[in-house]
Structure 1
Amino acid sequence: MTVSLILAAAMAWQAGSQQFDLICTGTLESSSTASTTPTATQVSDRAAVDLERGLWCWLECSVVNAIHSRNAAELVLSNKDETGGSAYLRVDRITGAYTNDVRLNMEGGYVIKLNTTGHCERAPYTPIPRAAF
């Protein structure tokens, strides 16, 4: 009985280490094809990450994405939209440093580029919804 409790606790800890939120704060710099003056803004974002299922989403989880890639040193979260726009969030798994490169393709060939650099902290996991079917 004691061995089962220890085993169950170990499995719960391992699952917990594979599921976490990232709270990332940094400086967002934006530029566009319509403006030559970049702007800078302080931002904070939260993402839920489930390494076991290979999924992630921004806190509201309106869209669940597959994890782009991961290794011992780096976690890369990405998503693309129907216009060909994309976002790549790269997190250094040792230091917590991150960059988030976003490209938004607008009508008429107008392009907005957003680049954020900063630091991510691990936070308690917000469960990613499971597919109904």
Structure 2
Amino acid sequence: MSVVFRVSPVIDDRALSKLHRRAFDASSVEVVPWSARLERHSVVWVTAEEESNLVGFVNVVGDGGVHAFIVDAVVLPSHQRRGIGGKLIELAVAEARSRGCEWLHVDFEADLAAFYVKRCGFRPTSAGVIRLR
């Protein structure tokens, strides 16, 4: 089966909500208004589809200047370790660069360090986070 990658295609809110639910083993049935969020806040997003089914996604949001941030990166567990995540990030990096971004940030949990640092070329940095809710 062949995976098709698309840059900033029209998003089906139900399909993307289902992808996130399946990938993160969440029980919520809520349909997130992805399309509106992407149009309002994103520099670019990239999808991966197999047989017209959404199997991967990454979103790049910007600060309105030279900084952009990878968020909502996801690949279905059944499709991981096939190069899909790396290709999603590779395309997102190229598109963010072509749209004038100079810095691309990503936060990740320790078990994803090999992917983001070794596979995708990010440099490790110190960062902080506060949970607001």
Q: TM-score, normalised by structure 1?
A: 0.28
Structure showing greater radius of gyration is 1
Instruction: Judging by fraction of residues, say which structure has more strand.
Output: 1
Higher relative CO (CA 8 A, sep ≥ 6), structure 1 or 2? 1
Q: TM-score, normalised by structure 2?
A: 0.28
